[in-house]
Amino acid sequence: MQLRPIGGHIIVEPQEKEAKTASGIYLVDAGEQKQSEGKVIAVGLGKQMESGMRQVIEVNVGDTVVFKQYAKDEVTVDGKTFFVLSADDVMAVIE
């Protein structure tokens, strides 16, 4: 099964946080933070405006993005977890 985002939505595959620092120290999550970054795997056509034009989505498939913590909806397809969120909730692209 495949997911295809509609309108101004994007599909993001969550990225696991590194449990070890560059110096080799393992981090223990006391109160695990909500996931807020991932890799874009699908992009919708853009939200349709009143003029009939579509709003341009500024992220592309393959971009690693940072998004608002509580803006995502979690979906599981074939045992794999994905996030569906509005392109407006993306705050930055990690380069």
pLDDT along the chain (95 residues), means of 10: 90 79 66 75 93 93 93 91 94 93
User: What pTM, to 2 d.p., does this model score?
Assistant: 0.79
Pairwise CA distance, residues 87 & 68, whole Å: 11
- Give 54: exposed, middle or buried? Use CB within 10 Å, 0-12, 13-18, 19+: middle
pLDDT for position 2? 85
User: In angstroms, what CA-CA distances link 43 with 8, 17, 32, 35?
Assistant: 8, 23, 28, 19
Pairwise CA distance, residues 92 & 38, whole Å: 11
Pairwise CA distance, residues 90 & 2, whole Å: 22
